[in-house]
Chains A and B, each alone.
Chain A
Amino acid sequence: DSGVTQTPKHLITATGQRVTLRCSPRSGDLSVYWYQQSLDQGLQFLIQYYNGEERAKGNILERFSAQQFPDLHSELNLSSLELGDSALYFCASSPQGANTEAFFGQGTRLTVV
């Protein structure tokens, strides 16, 4: 168990809908990262927050947004969903920045039908 909790584990929704994925980082970790992993694909970096502030952005679509709350949990919002958004979404946390070990959650498997 990495200590990072992601909910829900599975999500099935229709095209055009909006969903929210939730991540609780390890106790004390200030950085939260979101990644997208499509079938047989690598890990695509979406966005990173550090202590409530956005620190880095990857290839995150405009339909996607995220935030980190004062208690350090984070949410990834995906709207106007398309079939191609079906993927595993991982959250990871680390004590500080990118040059330290990241601890990954179990992921949320999103299926858009």
Chain B
Amino acid sequence: GENVEQHPSTLSVQEGDSAVIKCTYSDSASNYFPWYKQELGKGPQLIIDIRSNVGEKKDQRIAVTLNKTAKHFSLHITETQPEDSAVYFCAASKEGYQKVTFGTGTKLQVIP
């Protein structure tokens, strides 16, 4: 089955700096890659997603890149703010299959 690895497990950055979280997946048939943010005491919430027919997607300070050949995708957060502090999960799934496989999460701390 699909295996998603996520690095780093913890990440501390100064406010205003950029943060990058990387994930690799094993199933070359996977074609949907969402990123979720989980704040303390809450359920995960989708912040951005990308499909395999696109190499990059941006939404304000957040961007995701996908390298299908290398089977890895990354989340980039620019101009980080304290409210970006949370746990971030990457995930992968494929058309026709119902299971979404999540990475192990990255705890991001933005230091004011």
Binding site for B on A (CB under 8 A): 2, 4, 31, 33, 35, 41-45, 48, 50, 55-56, 58, 90, 92, 97-107
Q: Is the CB of A98 within 8 A of B93?
A: yes
Q: Is the CB of B49 within 8 A of A101?
A: yes
CA distance A12 to B96 in the complex (A): 38
Mostly, the B contact residues are: loop
A97 to chain B, nearest CB (A): 6
- Give the A-B contact count at a CB cut-off of 8 A: 68
Q: Is the CB of B99 within 8 A of A58?
A: yes
Q: Is the CB of A56 within 8 A of B105?
A: no
CA distance A72 to B64 in the complex (A): 33
CA distance A56 to B99 in the complex (A): 6
Q: Is the CB of A42 within 8 A of B34?
A: no
Chain A, residue nearest B91 (CB): A43
The reply to whether the CB of B100 lies closer than 8 angstroms to some CB of chain A is: yes
The reply to whether the CB of B112 lies closer than 8 angstroms to some CB of chain A is: no
Q: Is the CB of A55 within 8 A of B98?
A: yes
A11 to chain B, nearest CB (A): 16
Which of A41, A98, A105 contacts B100 (CB under 8 A)? A98
Binding site for A on B (CB under 8 A): 6, 31-32, 34, 36, 41-46, 49, 51, 89, 93-105
Which of B51, B89, B96 contacts A42 (CB under 8 A)? B89
Which of A45, A99, A106 contacts B94 (CB under 8 A)? A99
B33 to chain A, nearest CB (A): 10
CA distance A41 to B107 in the complex (A): 11
A–B pairs, 15, beta carbons within 8 Å: A2-B43, A4-B43, A35-B102, A41-B105, A42-B103, A42-B105, A43-B89, A45-B101, A56-B98, A58-B99, A92-B44, A98-B97, A98-B99, A99-B32, A104-B44
**Given the complex, which residues of A lie within 8 Å of B89, measured CB to CB?**
42-43
Which of A42, A45, A102 contacts B46 (CB under 8 A)? A102
CA distance A55 to B36 in the complex (A): 23
